[in-house]
Amino acid sequence: MSTAPDPHDVLGYLLKHAHLRFTALTDTALRPLGIDSKDFGALRVLAGREPASQLQVAQRLGIDRTTMVALLDELERKGVVARRPDPGDRRRNIVELTEQGERTLDAARTAYREAEEDFLAAVPPQAAAQLRATLRELVE
């Protein structure tokens, strides 16, 4: 008879739990900055680009514009982003990082990088680099 397979051999399990574990690490690392992984993603999208409307940012994040409203409400309340009307099209809000948002993002990048390093510490550096490269090919 066949033995029961180890669920851990299944790629779906491995990807799911790697992501769960990683997100837990980064959320913990970002918490002192008052943001979580989802917020960090939004800040990164807002940084270093031309000012964008809510809709454009939402599309880049892959979320609905109605979800974007609540996300921005929260980030604005935290003081890291600001909305202002687009002078050229008054239907739109231009969304930008505040100065505090820029500082928060800088600190978040450092914290996130450290969390990545902690997460990957269990494997040799070469394997970590290979993991990133392989995932990039699978996701693109």
Partner DNA sequence: TATTGTTATACTCTATAACTATA
Partner DNA sequence: TATAGTTATAGAGTATAACAATA
- Positions touching DNA (CB under 7 A) are 38, 53-55, 58, 63-70, 72, 83, 89-93
The two tokens of residue 86 are 């687009």
16 binds a copy of itself (CB under 8 A): yes
Q: In terms of CB distance, is 26 or 93 closer to DNA? A: 93
128 binds a copy of itself (CB under 8 A): yes
Residue 52, SS3 per DSSP: strand
95, HSE (Cβ side, Cα atoms, 13 Å): 23
The whole-angstrom distance between residue 111's C-alpha and the CA centroid of its chain comes to: 13
User: Taking contact as CB under 8 A, which single stretch among the options 70-78, 81-89, 93-101, 120-128 is the one that binds a copy of itself?
Assistant: 120-128
Q: What residues contact 50, with CB distance under 8 A and at least 6 apart?
A: none
88 binds a copy of itself (CB under 8 A): no
Give me the least distance between CB of 4 and a copy of itself, in Å please.
4
66 touches, from a copy of itself, DNA, none (C-beta below 5 to 8 Å by class): DNA
At residue 76, what is the residue type? E
Q: What residues contact 46, with CB distance under 8 A and at least 6 apart?
A: 52, 57, 81, 95, 96, 97, 101
List of residues contacting a copy of itself (CB under 8 A): 1-5, 7-19, 21-23, 26, 37, 41, 44-45, 47-49, 112, 116, 119-120, 122-123, 127-128, 130-140
